[in-house]
Amino acid sequence: MGSLIVSHTRYTRGMSRGRRPAGIACADPRGRLTAEEAQQLVHDLGMEALEPYPGTQRKPWTLRCRACHITLTRPLNAHRRSNGCRECNIKRQHDSYRLTQEEAFTLARSVGYEPLEPYPGRSSDPWQVECHKCGRHLQSRAGNMRSGGGCIYCARKRIEPDTAIEKMRQAGFEPLEPYPGSNNPWRCLCVKGQHEVSPRYAQVAYRGFGCVVCSGQVRDLEEAVRVMR
């Protein structure tokens, strides 16, 4: 009878989670690696062994990265899942997110900003920019820009107190306390009826709400306060 030809390989359960480098075959039906196969796998991962192969992928094996020379003692299947040196992979991932000055400026302009200072170097660092649309100077971050984030003022996510006060006056209210935020009751005086009410800025600015007493929606001030809150 002729020799048996193995046409495909079987891997251990741990190895099935990652792809095996090309050229490393395993004819053992239980998916075990020989010492030579393990050494070849380590070489393909960019590492070198500092001790003999322990005989299984689940036992710790001390390897050294040929690029950064760091020594790691982990099971072989853990080295495989991280595709070699964990530290080098983390650095490569960080470098892939790093922007040059030119790339950062292009990103800022794509969301409507003009940078007012050099890119600080990290996407999480505050960066002074000017909005092309409203002309405001503000701090943004390249990480937010990558997510499509533009000017928070133009998007109505932040309102300056002076702008809010002016908008309320245009709607016939005189604020009696500092701006509390767009969705909080704001104690104001209705200029027309001299009623003290507490509308929300968002209701007045974006939905056109007026004085609930003057419009006849409520009959007394206690009811007005309850409705506006």
Q: In this predicted structure, what is the pLDDT of residue 2?
A: 42
Q: What is the pLDDT of residues 14-46, one digit of tens each?
A: 444 444 444 444 434 345 889 999 999 999 999
Look over the chain and give the mean of its residue pLDDT values, rounded to a whole number: 79
- Report the Cα 222 to chain-centroid distance in Å: 46
Strand partners, 47: 65
User: Looking at residue 38, what DSSP letter applies?
Assistant: H
What burial letters (b/e) apply to 173-208, b meaning 16+ CB within 10 Å? Answer: bebeeebbebeebbbbbbeeeebebbbbbbbbbeee
For the chain, residues with pLDDT lower than 70 are 1-31, 94-97, 156-157, 218-229
Q: In this predicted structure, what is the pLDDT of residue 228?
A: 52
Q: In this predicted structure, what is the pLDDT of residue 134?
A: 83
Map out the domains of the chain as residue ranges: 15-91, 98-146, 161-228
Secondary element (H or E) of residue 4: none
Burial class (CB in 10 A: 0-12, 13-18, 19+), 78: middle
Strand partners, 75: 60
